[in-house]
Amino acid sequence: MSVSPGAVTHITSRDNTLIKELRKLSQDSTAYRKQGRVWLEGDHLCRAALARGKKPTLAIFSESFWPSAPVEWSRAAIKNIVIPDALLPEISGLESPARMGFVLELPAASGLEAGAASVILDRVQDAGNVGSILRSAAAFGFGQIIALKGTAALWSPKVLRAGMGAHFALQLVEGVEPAALAALTVPIVVTSSHQGSFLHQQPLPRPCAWAMGHEGQGVSDDLMARSALKVRIDQPGGEESLNVAAAAAICLYASATARC
């Protein structure tokens, strides 16, 4: 039987199947792969999804918030679910659970766009770093994220929160083997602490694919060998290295503002 937009269902038991599934989505970094959907907790992520034209299948509201929920949220999803406030911690990954959230179908997997301005994540493991890099990519016009195997799960709750909505502006390709990068028609540019010219002195190709490496080990030797260009970030203050997310922001900004 079809459900009209905005239909409301009340759930009161923590043993309800949906509550159990949302618990997994909020606490298990890879549960989205099994369920084929993602849990967006809080108004910021939900607004970002709506702004990009995403249609949630479910909207979850606390009982205390539901009567005053904005119309744009109460009519956004195919079905609304209202739960007791006491159940919010069951489906939250936050210290202070949000009063609402959306469930979205996971976008269908897609192959690499060979000529797209891209960011390659080479075993970047910290969820905060990954989310921050996604934000920088979206801000500076790099529309494709290529996550090599060993990189933090792109749609995990922590990466979603750190991305602050950037996911919905990007094509995300996960679980990629390094050999697949041979299909790219844009040059790969890598950062190195000891190879290449300084970023501010080096003409940059446009478009290109920037490679950002593991927090401790950096870019792999295999990816180094595939690169068309290696650059260093000048650090006159004398620090040995930069956080990978900070380095990505600097490089992507430099690339986006470089003269053709």
Domain final residue pick, 58, 76, 105: 105
Residues across the chain = 260
Same domain, 202 and 140: yes
The whole domain housing 132 covers 118-257
Q: Is 111 part of any domain?
A: no
Measure Cα distances from 84 to 60, 78, 103, 257 in Å: 11, 20, 18, 49
Q: What is the per-residue pLDDT for 242? A: 85
Number of structural domains in the chain: 2
Same domain, 82 and 159: no
CATH number, position 161: 3.40.1280.10
Q: What is the per-residue pLDDT for 6? A: 57
CA atoms of 153 and 106, how far apart (whole Å): 13
Q: Is 110 part of any domain?
A: no
Same domain, 11 and 134: no
Residue pLDDT tens, the chain, 260 long: 333 445 799 999 999 999 999 999 999 999 999 999 999 999 999 999 999 999 999 999 999 999 999 999 999 999 999 999 999 999 999 999 999 999 999 998 889 999 999 999 999 999 999 999 999 999 999 999 999 999 999 999 999 999 999 999 999 999 999 999 999 999 999 987 677 789 988 899 999 999 999 988 889 999 999 999 999 998 877 666 789 999 999 999 999 998 64
Beta partners for 61? 82, 100
Same domain, 62 and 156: no
User: Cβ contacts of residue 42 below 8 Å, gap of 6+?
Assistant: 94, 98, 100, 101
Same domain, 162 and 236: yes
Q: What is the per-residue pLDDT for 240? A: 66
Same domain, 91 and 124: no
